[in-house]
Chain A
Amino acid sequence: MRRLPDGRVQFEGPGEVPPVSMSLSSTTWNRTGDWRSREPVFRDLTPPCADACPAGQDVVDQVRLLSQGRVREAGEVVLSANPFPATTGRVCPHPCTSACNRGRMEGPVDIPGVERALGDLILAEGVEPARSPATGARVAVVGAGPAGLTAAHYLGLGGCEVTLFDRGDRPGGLLSRGIPPFRLPRSVVDAEVERALKPGVRFAGGRSLGRNLDVDELVREFDSVLLAIGRHLPRRLGVPGEVANGVVDGLDLLSAQGLGDVPKGRRAVVVGGGNTAIDCARSLRRAGFEVTVAYRRGRGDMPAFADEVEEALEEGVAIEDWLLPAEVRVMDGSACGLRCVRARPGAPDPSGRPRPVPVPGTGLTLPADLVVAAAGEELDALGLPAGWVEGGRVVLPPELAGRVAAIGDCAGAAGTVAHAIGEGRRAAAALACRLGAAAPSEDLLSERGAEPEVAGFDRVRTAWHRPAMPSARGREDAHLRRADEREVRRGFARDEAMREASRCLACGTCAGCELCYQLCPDRAVVRGAPGAYGVDPSRCKGCGVCVEECPRGAISLRERGGT
C-alpha cells in the first residue's frame, strides 16, 4: 500500500483490499465542495414579533435572555429600545403576540406577560442604562407623555442637556393621567418615569404652550426643540345640553379620578368606543355606577383593545352599539339622561369601517346623572404659530427642519404607547446624530445584522420544537376587582416568565441549536457562536439539509456565487 502526496492510498495488489468498505486515510484531499451549484447562507431574518412591534424592540433577543435567567442583560436589551417595559407589558395591545408563529402551534408566546415581568424585575434590581459623556447640546422637549419622555430619555442618555416641559405638574402624560391604575399601577409608571429622567433630563412642570411657555423663545434658547404635546382636547358631542352639569370629558374624568376625585352618582353613559371610553366605563363601575357605553358603530368596529372590552363586560359594563347621541336631557341644570338615535351601517369611511347612518323615527333615552364624552381627542393648537398646524396635526414648515420636530400623537402617530415610544426613540436618534451626541439605536434588528425579510411560519420546522403549552396568567375575579383599584391582569413570577419565554421559537434567528452542524452529511458546517455558523466551502456540496432542517429558518439556499 502506497501513500500518495495528497494523502490518498493506493493498493499495490488485490490482497491489500480490506474485507469491508472502510477508510484507510483521510478524505480531505477530495474537495467535494467544488462540485456544488448552490450554497447555504446563514442569515438572520426579522422575526414576526419584532416586525410587528411599533416600538421596534428586538423581542426575540430580550425573551431569549430572560428565558436563560439573564435578567440584567435582557433588561439592557429592552431598555435600549423602550424605557418603559413594565408599562408596555401592561398596556400595549401586543401586536407581537398576534404575529407570533407559535400561535399556529399550541398558542402564541405571552410576550406582554414576559415583558411585564422583565420590566418589574429590572425596576426591582435597579437596572439602569449608563449615560454617555455630556456634550453641552441643549434640547427642549415639550410634552412629557410617552413620546416626549422617550425622546428626552435617549437624548439625555446620549449626553444632551434636556429640559422636558409639560402642562401637568408631574411627568407621564397619558400614562399617569389617562390610564387607570387597575390597568397600570401608578407606582410602576412613576418608577419607570423616574428612571427615564435620571440621565440628564430636567423636568419643568406646569408649563403650557401659549400660556407660560413661548415656542419662539424655545427655538431661540435651545439647540433643538421637540414637540410631543399629544392630543388632549376632548372632541365635543355636538348635541344640545352638552354644557349641563354632569357632562364631563373622558380624559378629564380619568385624570381627576387619578387624583382621588371620584364623581358622585348612580348611572353613567359613556359616549365613545376607544380605550378612553372603556377606561372611563370601568373606572365608573369601580366608583359604584351602573354604566352603559354608547357607541355609534358595531361592537367589532370599536377601536378599544378587544381584551379591555372583554374585561369591561366581565365587570358588568353594558355596551350599546349603533347608537348616536342626540341630546343630553337636562333637569334643573344637571344631566338626567342621554337621548340617542339608532344607527345602521352605511358606506365605509376612509378607515374602512361602516359610517353610521341615523335611522329616522328610532330612539331611546338612556337615564344618566353622568354623561361622559369620550369620542376622541383633538390637537390643542394653543400657542403654536398658525403655519405649524395642518389638518388637525402639527406639520412643521420645511425651513425648521433640524431645529424643531414634532412626534407622537400631535404629529398624527398611530396612537398606542408603543408607537409613541418608537417615534420618540427614532426622533432622538436623528437629533442626537445632528447634535453630535451618542444616538440610541434606530433599528435594533438591522444593527445586529438581521435582514428585513420576515421569518414566517413556513420557515419554522415545527417537528424540531418540543411542544409547550402556553401558561395562562389569568385575571383577578371580576367581583373582587370591581370593588377596588387592584390590577386586573395577573403577572408572571420570575420562573413563570422564564418558562413562558423559553417557548419562543426564535424565528429566523440562530439560537446555536447545532442541528445544522450535527445533520450536515459532509461535516461541512463550521461551528461558531450563535449566529456565527458557516460552511467550509471546500466540503459543502450545497445539498440543503441544513437549510431544510434549521428549526427557525435562519439558513437560506442560494445559487453558488449569487446574492
Chain B
Amino acid sequence: MGEEHLLTGNEAVAWAVARAGAEVVAAYPITPQTSVIETLASLVQKGISRAEYVPVESEHSALAACIGAAQAGARAFTATSGQGLALMHELIHWTAGARLPVVLAAVNRALAPGWNIWADQNDTLSQRDTGWVQIYCENAQDVFDSTIQAFALAPRLSLPVMVVLDAFFLSHTAEPVSVADAGELAGLIRPWEAPWRIDLDRPKAVGSLVAPAEYESMRNQLAKAHEAALGEIADLADHWRRRFGRGVGLLDRYRCEDADEILVASGTAASTAREAVDELRARGRRAGLVRVRTFRPFPAAALREVLTPARRVAVLDRNCSYGASGIFCQEVRAALCGVRGAPPVHGFIAGMGGRDITPRTVEAALAAAEVGDPRPEGTWLRE
C-alpha cells in the first residue's frame, strides 16, 4: 500500500510525476510553480524519478522540449504558472493539434500587470480553446490522483492533459497525502503507440501543411476525442474509487439530492463552499454544491442532470471574461440553455488576484441569488 506523506500541492504533483514514470521533464521556474520542479529535481537526483531533467531557457522551450520528447514516445511533463503559461500559448495549441500525450501542471497565478503571484484562473482559462484536457483540483490528494490519472488518460486519448491547482491555497499548503507506490499503479499507464509517434524504423514527417478539408477533418477528430474523453475520465474515476476508495471524475456533487439552491465552484473555493453549505443546511436551507473538476471536456450532460431540479444556481468564478461574465458561469448557462425548466444561473466573481474567498463570500452569493434576477455580466463580490 502507498504511504502517507505530508505534502504541499506542488510536492504532490512532483511525487505523482515520479510515480507515473515520467521520462522527460523540461521546465522553467516561475512562482508559484517553482517548488514542483525543485521537488522533481530532487527526486531525480535521488533516483526516485528516472526522468531526464532538461533545464531550458523559457517556458516556450520547456513545452517545445516536451513536444519533441512526446513525439518520440517519451512520457513528458512540464509545469508552469501565469506568465509562463501565456508564453507557452503557441505550443499549447501545437501539443493538442499534434495529438501528443504531454502532462502539464499549471499552478494558477494572476496575470500581470500589476505583478501578482497569487491565485486566479484567468491564466489556465485563457488556454480553454486549445484542445487540452483541463482538470481543476481541490486538495493535495486530488492533485496527486489527478496527476497520475493525467498520465493514464493522455496516451489513451492522444490528448495533452493540464492539471490545475490554485497558487498558495493549494500549491504551498501541506496536507496528508496517500502516495501510491509503483506496484499499485502497475498497468494503469499504457505506452503511447500512436501511428504518428516518431519511430526510426518507420520514418515520417509530422506537422506539415495540410489542405483545408483534411485540416477540418483533423480538428473534427480532436473534438471527437474530447467527447470520448468524458467517458474515459468517468471510467478512470470509477476504477480509482474501486482501487483507492476516493476521488471523483467529471463533477463532485455535495448534498445536491434535495437542494433548492446549488452553488457551482472549482478549485480550493469548493472546499470553502462545502463549509458554507454545511452551515446553511444547519440553518435549514437546502443548499448544495457542485464542484466542476473536469472543465475540458466540459461535462454539460452531467451538469444538466444535477442542476435542472434546483430552483436556482449560483456560480462562483475566480476569473472573468472581461466584457462577458465569469467563465464557469458562461459554461453552465450554455449547458442549461434550452433545457426545459432549467433554473436561473446567477454569476459571481470573487477572489481575483488571490483575494480570500471565505464562507461569508459564498453565503453572500447565495443570498444575492435569492433576491435578485441573474445579471448577464455577473456580480462582483467585493466586501
Please list the residues of chain A having a beta carbon within 8 angstroms of any beta carbon in chain B: 11, 14, 17-24, 27
A17 contacts across to B, CB distance below 8 A: 214, 217-218, 221
Q: Are A20 and B99 in touch, CB under 8 angstroms?
A: yes
Q: Are A19 and B208 in touch, CB under 8 angstroms?
A: no
Q: Are A21 and B204 in touch, CB under 8 angstroms?
A: no
Number of A-B residue pairs, CB cutoff 8 Å, is: 46
- In the bound assembly, the distance between CA atoms of A11 and B210 in angstroms comes to 13
Q: Are B218 and A19 in touch, CB under 8 angstroms?
A: yes
- In the bound assembly, the distance between CA atoms of A17 and B224 in angstroms comes to 14
Within 8 A of A (CB), among B90-109: 97-99
Q: Are B218 and A20 in touch, CB under 8 angstroms?
A: yes
Q: Are A23 and B99 in touch, CB under 8 angstroms?
A: no
Q: Are B97 and A23 in touch, CB under 8 angstroms?
A: no
> Distance in Å from the Cβ of B158 to the closest Cβ of chain A?
7
Of A19, A24, A27, which is in contact with the most chain B CB atoms at under 10 Å from its CB?
A: A19
Please list the residues of chain B having a beta carbon within 8 angstroms of any beta carbon in chain A: 97-99, 158, 194-196, 204-210, 213-214, 217-218, 221-222, 225
Least CB separation from A11: chain B residue: B214
- In the bound assembly, the distance between CA atoms of A14 and B210 in angstroms comes to 14
Q: Are B221 and A19 in touch, CB under 8 angstroms?
A: yes
A17-B214, A20-B207, A20-B218 known; 12 new pairs, CB 8 Å cut-off, are A17-B217, A19-B99, A19-B158, A19-B196, A19-B221, A19-B222, A20-B206, A21-B207, A22-B196, A23-B204, A23-B206, A24-B204
Q: Are A14 and B217 in touch, CB under 8 angstroms?
A: yes
A24 contacts across to B, CB distance below 8 A: 204
A14 contacts across to B, CB distance below 8 A: 213, 217
Please name 19 pairs of A and B residues whose Cβ atoms are closer than 8 Å in the assembled complex, sorted by A.
A14-B213, A17-B217, A17-B218, A17-B221, A18-B195, A18-B218, A19-B222, A20-B196, A20-B207, A21-B97, A21-B207, A21-B209, A21-B214, A22-B204, A22-B205, A22-B206, A22-B207, A23-B205, A24-B204
- In the bound assembly, the distance between CA atoms of A24 and B206 in angstroms comes to 10
Please tell me which one of the listed residues B195, B210, B213, B225 contacts residue A21 in the complex, with CB atoms under 8 A apart. Answer: B210
Q: Are A21 and B208 in touch, CB under 8 angstroms?
A: yes
A22 contacts across to B, CB distance below 8 A: 195-196, 204-207
- In the bound assembly, the distance between CA atoms of A11 and B216 in angstroms comes to 14
Least CB separation from B204: chain A residue: A23
Q: Are B196 and A18 in touch, CB under 8 angstroms?
A: yes
> Distance in Å from the Cβ of B368 to the closest Cβ of chain A?
46
Q: Are A21 and B217 in touch, CB under 8 angstroms?
A: no
Q: Are B225 and A19 in touch, CB under 8 angstroms?
A: yes
A23 contacts across to B, CB distance below 8 A: 204-206, 208
> Distance in Å from the Cβ of A26 to the closest Cβ of chain B?
9
B194 contacts across to A, CB distance below 8 A: 19
B196 contacts across to A, CB distance below 8 A: 18-20, 22
Q: Are B208 and A20 in touch, CB under 8 angstroms?
A: no
> Distance in Å from the Cβ of B125 to the closest Cβ of chain A?
25
- In the bound assembly, the distance between CA atoms of A20 and B207 in angstroms comes to 7
A19 contacts across to B, CB distance below 8 A: 99, 158, 194, 196, 218, 221-222, 225
Q: Are A20 and B205 in touch, CB under 8 angstroms?
A: no
B206 contacts across to A, CB distance below 8 A: 20-23
Least CB separation from A25: chain B residue: B204
Least CB separation from A15: chain B residue: B217
> Distance in Å from the Cβ of A32 to the closest Cβ of chain B?
12
Least CB separation from B221: chain A residue: A19
- In the bound assembly, the distance between CA atoms of A22 and B208 in angstroms comes to 7
B204 contacts across to A, CB distance below 8 A: 22-24
- In the bound assembly, the distance between CA atoms of A17 and B214 in angstroms comes to 6
- In the bound assembly, the distance between CA atoms of A18 and B99 in angstroms comes to 11
> Distance in Å from the Cβ of B64 to the closest Cβ of chain A?
17
B158 contacts across to A, CB distance below 8 A: 19
> Distance in Å from the Cβ of A50 to the closest Cβ of chain B?
40
Least CB separation from B220: chain A residue: A14
Least CB separation from B209: chain A residue: A21
B214 contacts across to A, CB distance below 8 A: 11, 17, 21
> Distance in Å from the Cβ of A121 to the closest Cβ of chain B?
45
Least CB separation from A23: chain B residue: B205
Q: Are B98 and A20 in touch, CB under 8 angstroms?
A: yes
Name the 3 nearest CB pairs between A and B, nearest first: A17-B217, A23-B205, A22-B196
Least CB separation from B98: chain A residue: A20
- In the bound assembly, the distance between CA atoms of A404 and B143 in angstroms comes to 97
B208 contacts across to A, CB distance below 8 A: 21, 23
